[in-house]
A = this chain, B = another copy of it.
Amino acid sequence: MLEKTTRMNYLYDFYQSLLTPKQRSYMSLYYLDDFSLGEIAEEYGVSRQAVYDNIKRTEQMLEEYEKKLGLFEKFQARKQIFQSMREILGDSVDPELLRLLDALEKLE
């Protein structure tokens, strides 16, 4: 469950701009703020089932976007490369090169 939560947090991070405001609210309460389905249902005056269905559908959409665009996968691949580069560079290197690497990572 923890692994799924982490993955959903990342996918949400990458693709939230493609979701509706309601999808964003539910996902953010459930995954980021750790609300229960019941608490979200109460907050919005809808049934627990409605919240559950909406979140399940949103999770499927996020996985579908990831399958199509692969932003999370590329992010992970780049992160590994950044780490290897930093290991090689150490701190014995052109400071401009380190600044560029920082700039690259900030684009993530």
| A residues adjacent to B (C-beta < 8 A) | 15, 17-18, 65, 68-69, 71, 74, 77-78, 81, 84-85, 88-89, 94, 96-97, 100-101, 103-104, 107
Question: Copy number in this complex?
Answer: 2
Specify which of B15, B81, B88 is in contact with A104 (CB 8 Å cutoff). B81
Give the complex CA separation of A89 and B78 in angstroms: 19
Q: A17 vs B107: C-alpha distance in the bound complex, in angstroms?
A: 22
Nearest CB of chain B from residue A46's CB, rounded to whole Å: 27
Q: Judge whether A97 and B89 touch: CB under 8 Å.
A: yes
- How far is the CB of A83 from the nearest CB of chain B, in Å? 10
Report if A97-B104 is in contact (Cβ < 8 Å); known contacts: A17-B69, A18-B68, A69-B17: no
